[in-house]
Structure 1
Amino acid sequence: MFDRIVAAIAFAAGVTAGIGLFSLYDISIDDPGVRREARAGYVARAEMIALEAELEELRRQRDAIAAWRDRYAVALARAEKERADLERIRESERVNYAGELERAGRACLLDRTDIDWLRRGE
């Protein structure tokens, strides 16, 4: 009977020692490695999410700039057309006025440089 008690105690001590050694291995070697790997994965994922957000922001800015450029090109074309139309109207008025002066027997002594000077407002 004593042998059975000693064997049971020895078995319990062996099991306890095994659990203790496993726990010591788990706490000191395995868990830090698992934590390190988890952190490394988390950092890589966080960096990937940050880079994706940055890429999305750059795309948004690119699209906004393209839309602005298109609006500017349309406005510029419209302004150039209006300027050309006004220039044609002014030239037509000048020619008509010169014709009126000539028919009335008068002369306009202004030449092209004088007209350009008046237009610039100098």
Structure 2
Amino acid sequence: MFGLLDKIGTTAAAIAGLVTGAAVTFAALSLYDAWIDDPAVARAAREGFVAASEKLALQGQVDEMKRQFKVAEAAAASDRARAEAANKEADDAWAKYEAAVAADTGDDGCRVSADDLEWLRKSRGAPGDGVN
């Protein structure tokens, strides 16, 4: 009878050993997963998010710079058009002045000579030499 009890005890001890071994293995793997493996996975996931957010931020900066460039380009075109209009207006005013001087035949003692007009032309520059 002790032989049978011996076999049952040995079998129970073996089963208890297997259960204890499985429990210890499960606990060890759980600790490994929580302390070692998970932080690496979380860090890798965050690195992906950081790269994606940096890319998104840089794309936003590029889009903003493109928008500012377009605004500056439009402002420059507007300024160029205004400068051309001002140059045309100045040329027209100069032509009117020259015509008025040429038509002046009055004897008021304040006559402008051809040399005076030439000097004014040289000091002014060529017509249309305003803002480019």
Normalization by structure 2: what TM-score?
Answer: 0.70
Runs of 4+ in 1 over 6 A off after TM superposition: none
Tell me how many residue pairs correspond in the alignment: 109
1:71: which partner in 2? 78
Q: Which has the higher contact order (CA 8 A, sep 6+)?
A: 2
Instruction: Looking at secondary structure, tell me which structure has more helix per residue.
Output: 1
Q: Distance in 1 between matches of 2:39 and 2:104?
A: 95
1:120: which partner in 2? none
Q: Distance in 2 between matches of 1:73 and 1:90?
A: 25
In the alignment, structure 2 segments of 5+ residues that lack a partner are: 1-7, 121-132
In the alignment, structure 1 segments of 5+ residues that lack a partner are: 117-122
Q: Distance in 2 between matches of 1:108 and 1:32?
A: 96
1:22 has 2:29 as partner: yes
RMSD over aligned Cα atoms: 2.2
Q: Give CA deviations for 1:77-120 in whole Å, capped at 9, x if unaligned.
A: 1111111111111211221123xx2xxxx36444427xx6xxxx
Normalization by structure 1: what TM-score?
Answer: 0.75
Over the matched positions of the two proteins, sequence identity in percent amounts to: 28
2:4: which partner in 1? none
